[in-house]
Amino acid sequence: MGSRHFIITEDQRKEYAVGVLLDLIKNQDREFPVALEGGDRDLEPLFIHALAKGYVEIDEDNKYSLTVPGLEKVENLMQRYEEYLAHFDVYCAVDTEDGCFAFEKIFELDDEDWEDFLSDERFVDLRIAVAWFKQINPADFVFLSFLKENRFDTGRSGWQFDLLSGLLWGEVEKVIDNAIEVGKLGYVSEDGQEISGEMVLQDVITQGAKLNAELHAKEDDLHTEDHELRNDFHDENRYVVYESYYDPFYISPIWFLF
Residue 4 lies inside a defined structural domain of this protein: no
Residue 63 lies inside a defined structural domain of this protein: yes
200-252 pLDDT, tens digit each: 999 999 999 999 888 888 877 776 544 555 455 444 434 444 577 888 888 88
98-116 pLDDT, tens digit each: 999 999 999 999 988 999 9
Residue 87 lies inside a defined structural domain of this protein: yes
Residue 57 lies inside a defined structural domain of this protein: yes
Identify the pLDDT of residue 217. Answer: 80
Q: Give dist(CA 7, CA 24) in Å, integer.
A: 26
Identify the pLDDT of residue 3. Answer: 52
Domain that holds residue 93: 10-256
Residue 75 lies inside a defined structural domain of this protein: yes
Q: Give dist(CA 45, CA 13) in Å, integer.
A: 12
Identify the pLDDT of residue 74. Answer: 94
Residues 6+ apart with CB under 8 A from 182: 129, 132, 133, 197, 198, 201
Residue 220 lies inside a defined structural domain of this protein: yes
189-201 pLDDT, tens digit each: 889 899 999 999 9
Residue 1 lies inside a defined structural domain of this protein: no
124 DSSP β-pair partners: 94
Identify the pLDDT of residue 228. Answer: 55
Residue 174 lies inside a defined structural domain of this protein: yes
Average pLDDT, the chain: 88
Per the CB < 8 A criterion, the answer to whether 144 and 81 are in contact is yes
Identify the pLDDT of residue 236. Answer: 44
High-pLDDT (> 90) share of the chain, %: 70
Count of domains observed in the chain: 1
DSSP category for residue 181: P
149-180 pLDDT, tens digit each: 889 999 999 999 999 888 899 999 999 999 99
Identify the pLDDT of residue 114. Answer: 93
Identify the pLDDT of residue 4. Answer: 56
Helix (H) or strand (E) segment spanning residue 57? strand 56-58
Identify the pLDDT of residue 166. Answer: 85
